[in-house]
Amino acid sequence: MAKRKSSISNVSLLKWKEPISVVYSNSAELIRPFCFNYGQANDTPQGSNFHSYYISLEDSPENKGFCSSITILFNLIQDAFLFVRRSFFALLGAVSGNSLAGRAAQLTQVQNFGDNPSGTGMYIYVPTKLAAKPPIIVAIHYCTGTAQAYYQGSPYAQLADQKGFIVIYPSSPHSGTCWDVSSQKSLKHNGGGDSNAIANMVTYALKKYNADPKKVFVTGSSSGAMMTNVMAATYPELFAAATAYSGVPAGCFVSSSGAVDAWNSTCAQGNVDQSAAYWTNVVKNMYPGYSGARPRFQVYHGSIDTTLRPNNYRESIKEWTGVFGFDATKPQTVKNNFLPMDTLLISGVQGISALNVGHTVPINGAQDMAWFGL
């Protein structure tokens, strides 16, 4: 199976001849080196040989709990800020229906992009300085979100201005604006669901803008991260790489009744524990007969997520390492004490569990660009 490679920077712990679960605390950068520590985590699944590592804040007799206190304070402030920012941009998007103030290019709705079986909305951002053969990023919003809100609240449009790529922002047609990651329509290649509609958006943009078919990427948050997993499974031929912020494995939210846009509490609460072989079959059954290249996959998840429990992070790592045929029980690591100095070429699967972070893992635009090779 062909494997794509990309230059990666700003990664805390790296290995990628074989995959590994990598744990990275966003807080560590704030007060390093006073509280900087490297170690091996003890939160691996029972009965497994997964190895998790972390970059974290650690107390010592000298700092008398300062690091723990600043970590808690930082995360409270971060969660509050992200909530306010998300709410503000959602309101702004609803009121103005448009883009960031002062931006030369604008977010535009596309009405006729081809077959749209689920009635999914398509919005696109095309920067004024478009690359000659532009890459495409598909950025998929969270539950209660919209294309406009994700455009406002994520860094991709600003990065598009800098780098000349196109951003597609799908908008969910469902009540509550979650994505259908439960029905067979969406969990099958050309099945007629949301995933089918999003794939057709990509095909439309590739043709209209003479975009680079080797540089198409997909990312999303929460429900959008779930759909990111589904897109990578159902349309692997379209994407070179994917990044999922706080999602679940492709197929984990499947509805036994075939319901569209159904909630799966068993999966959400982290009560699904399957083998890599099981998840590999789930992915391959979403596109039977496909034997081509698969997109590299990056997973972000908060270690104290109570909406989509952290076991979904571990199951996602199982799923994508299984798909790539990696042996996740034999990880290798490269210690990086000088974050973010080191740069390595990697391929396959990367996992980042954000220490002491809940469901809202902040989007790291610089990391995304590095993972995508942009």
Does 222 participate in catalysis according to the annotation? yes
- What is the mean predicted confidence (pLDDT) over 244-253? 97
Give the tens place of pLDDT for each residue, 120-154. Answer: 999 999 999 999 999 999 999 999 999 999 999 99
Q: How far apart are CA 78 and CA 84, in angstroms?
A: 10
Q: What is the pLDDT at residue 21?
A: 35
| Encoded tokens for 255 | 């509805």
CB neighbours of residue 101 within 10 Å: 7
Q: What is the pLDDT at residue 352?
A: 82
Q: How far apart are CA 74 and CA 179, in angstroms?
A: 31
Q: What is the pLDDT at residue 103?
A: 63
Q: Where are the alpha helices (DSSP H) in 248-302?
A: 265-268, 276-286
Please check the confidence at residue 206 and state whether its pLDDT lies above 70: yes
Which has the higher per-residue pLDDT, 364 or 38? 364
The pLDDT > 70 percentage for the chain reads 67
Q: What is the pLDDT at residue 79?
A: 47
Q: What is the pLDDT at residue 72?
A: 42
Phi, psi angle pair for 87, to nearest 5°: -65, -45
| Per-residue pLDDT band at 23 (split at 50, 70, 90) | very low
Q: How far apart are CA 144 and CA 359, in angstroms?
A: 14
Q: What is the pLDDT at residue 42?
A: 33
Which has the higher per-residue pLDDT, 8 or 115? 115
- CATH class of segment(s) 6-372: alpha beta
Task: With H, G, I as helix, E, B as strand and everything else as coil, classify residue 173.
Answer: coil
Average pLDDT over the chain reads: 76
Please check the confidence at residue 102 and state whether its pLDDT lies above 90: no
Q: Find the helix packing angle between 156-163 and 365-372, rounded to 10°.
A: 50
Please check the confidence at residue 33 and state whether its pLDDT lies above 50: no
| Per-residue pLDDT band at 357 (split at 50, 70, 90) | confident
Q: What is the pLDDT at residue 333?
A: 45
Active-site choice (154, 171, 222, 246): 222
Give the tens place of pLDDT for each residue, 251-310. Answer: 999 998 889 989 999 999 999 999 999 999 999 999 999 999 999 999 999 889 999 999
